[in-house]
């Protein structure tokens, strides 16, 4: 009996031990439970200054890659959800020192109608001293239009150094591939920087010149967008543009009207036909226009026949007063 009682006690003790062990969580199950509990907790909230929406962040990164665009994009470092405060403006940049702008182009006024009608004779394509020397021998007031430096002559600014009255003959795109090979030619496709660099170069090389006319340019002057951009840049640099009218499709009349300026253009080409009788006929036409309107502008070139016709034009020109371009418009 005592033996059976001892066995019963032992069995009860073992059962209690195993029952308690089954009721306690194991170390492994406890760690797993803690992980699950941690997942269920809300994530800690970051400071508002770091809580930047993805779209804004993309804009910032894009702005850093494209400087031109970043200037127009918002500064998002101040952003806080739910607030409508304005961003703190960035520190003002010191303005860069710029060269003094050229003097504004004087208003071009119509010529006086007192006295004889006035005729402006312009000779284009001047690039060599011999051409200028030949012009000086002709007893009329003739305005030379001098090429900027090119393959024809690299020293054309020296030709203008001793002159009081002259123009610059600016090469512009034509419909001729051969003509368009000239150095310094401005094309319709030329970028703004190239165009402005060319104008700055001319202003630097010919600091006193006021008048510019186009060499060739039938394609360029017919392109409204390109010509208006050029016209504005020339005007800003202190130039007055004279339309050589190398095409009937020129847009200069419209552009000058929109700009509130007087349209100044060639009336007659005197030497499309390089024969003395034909040139004299064109000179008579220029005189007729001058007498009818009070003035006219004729353009020729330093051809041998042109020089000869001008030397022999005393009888043709006796009814007009030849003047330089800057004496006609002031």
- Domain for residue 318, yes or no? yes
Q: Is the pLDDT of residue 133 over 50?
A: yes
Number of domains in the chain: 1
What value does the mean pLDDT take over residues 138-161? Answer: 93
Of residues 14 and 322, the one with the higher pLDDT is 322
- Domain for residue 272, yes or no? yes
Q: 3-state SS of the chain?
A: CHHHHHHHHHHHHHHHHHHHHHHCCCHHHHHHHHHHHHHHCCCCCCCHHHCCCHHHHHHHHHHHHCHHHHCCCCCHHHCCCCCCCCCCCCCCCCCCCCCCCCCCCCCCCCCCCCCCCEEEEEEEEECCHHHHHHHHCCCCCEEEEECCCCCCCCCHHHHHCCCCCCEEEEEECCCCCCHHHCCCCECCCCCHHHHHHHHHHHHHHCCCCCEEEEEECCCCCCCHHHHHHHHHHHHHCCCEEEECCCCCCCCHHHHHHHHCCCCCECCEECCCCCCHHHHHHHHHHHHHHHHHHCEEEEEECCCHHHHHHHHCCHHHHCCCEECCHHHHCC
Q: Is the pLDDT of residue 18 over 50?
A: no
Residue-wise pLDDT tens digits, 267-290: 999 999 999 999 999 999 999 999
Q: Is the pLDDT of residue 188 over 60?
A: yes
- Domain for residue 52, yes or no? no
What's the pLDDT at 110?
A: 58
Tokens of 95: 């303005």
Domain that residue 248 falls in: 118-328
Contact in structure between 221 and 188 (CB atoms under 8 Å): no
> Which of 18-27, 151-160, 227-236 has the lowest average pLDDT?
18-27
Q: Is the pLDDT of residue 172 over 90?
A: yes
Percentage, residues of the chain above pLDDT 70: 65
Residue-wise pLDDT tens digits, 27-74: 344 444 444 444 443 443 333 333 333 333 222 222 232 222 222 222
What's the pLDDT at 90?
A: 42
What's the pLDDT at 111?
A: 58
Percentage, residues of the chain above pLDDT 90: 62
Q: Is the pLDDT of residue 168 over 60?
A: yes
> Which of 18-22, 107-111, 203-207, 234-238 has the lowest average pLDDT?
18-22
- Domain for residue 76, yes or no? no
**What is the overall mean pLDDT for the chain?**
76
d(C-alpha 75, C-alpha 77), whole Å: 6
What's the pLDDT at 150?
A: 85
Of residues 19 and 274, the one with the higher pLDDT is 274
- Domain for residue 292, yes or no? yes
CATH code: domain of residue 317: 3.20.20.370
- Domain for residue 309, yes or no? yes
- Domain for residue 123, yes or no? yes
- Domain for residue 39, yes or no? no
| E strands present in 47-178 | 118-126, 142-146, 167-172
């Amino acid at each position: 009996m005592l033996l059976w009682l001892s066995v019963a006690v032992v069995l009860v003790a073992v059962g209690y031990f195993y029952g308690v062990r089954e009721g306690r969580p194991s170390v492994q199950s406890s760690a797993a439970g803690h992980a699950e509990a941690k997942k269920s907790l809300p994530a800690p909230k970051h400071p508002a200054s770091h809580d930047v929406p993805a779209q804004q962040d993309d804009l910032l990164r894009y702005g850093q890659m494209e400087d031109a665009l970043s200037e127009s994009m918002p500064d998002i470092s101040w952003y806080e959800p739910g607030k409508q405060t304005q961003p703190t403006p960035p520190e003002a940049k010191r303005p860069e020192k710029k060269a003094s702008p050229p003097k504004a182009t004087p208003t071009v006024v119509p010529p006086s109608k007192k006295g004889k009608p006035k005729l402006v004779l312009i000779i284009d394509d001047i690039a060599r001293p011999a051409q200028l020397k030949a012009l000086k021998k002709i007893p009329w007031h003739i305005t030379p239009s001098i090429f900027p430096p090119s393959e024809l002559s690299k020293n054309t600014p020296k030709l203008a150094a001793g002159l009081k009255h002259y123009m610059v003959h600016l090469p512009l795109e034509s419909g001729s591939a051969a003509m368009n090979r000239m150095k310094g030619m401005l094309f319709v496709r030329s970028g703004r920087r190239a165009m402005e660099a060319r104008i700055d170069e001319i202003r630097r090389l010919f600091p006193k010149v006021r008048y510019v006319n186009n060499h060739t340019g039938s394609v360029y002057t017919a392109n409204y967008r390109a010509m208006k951009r050029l016209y504005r840049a020339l005007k800003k640099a202190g130039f007055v543009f004279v339309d050589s009218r190398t095409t009937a499709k020129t847009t200069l009349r419209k552009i000058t009207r929109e700009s509130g300026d007087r349209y100044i253009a060639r009336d007659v080409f005197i030497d499309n036909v390089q024969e003395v009788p034909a040139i004299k006929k064109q000179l008579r036409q220029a005189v007729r226009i001058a007498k009818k309107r009070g003035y006219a502008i004729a353009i020729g070139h330093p051809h041998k026949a042109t020089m000869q016709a001008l030397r022999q034009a005393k009888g043709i020109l006796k009814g007009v007063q030849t003047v330089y371009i800057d004496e006609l418009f002031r």
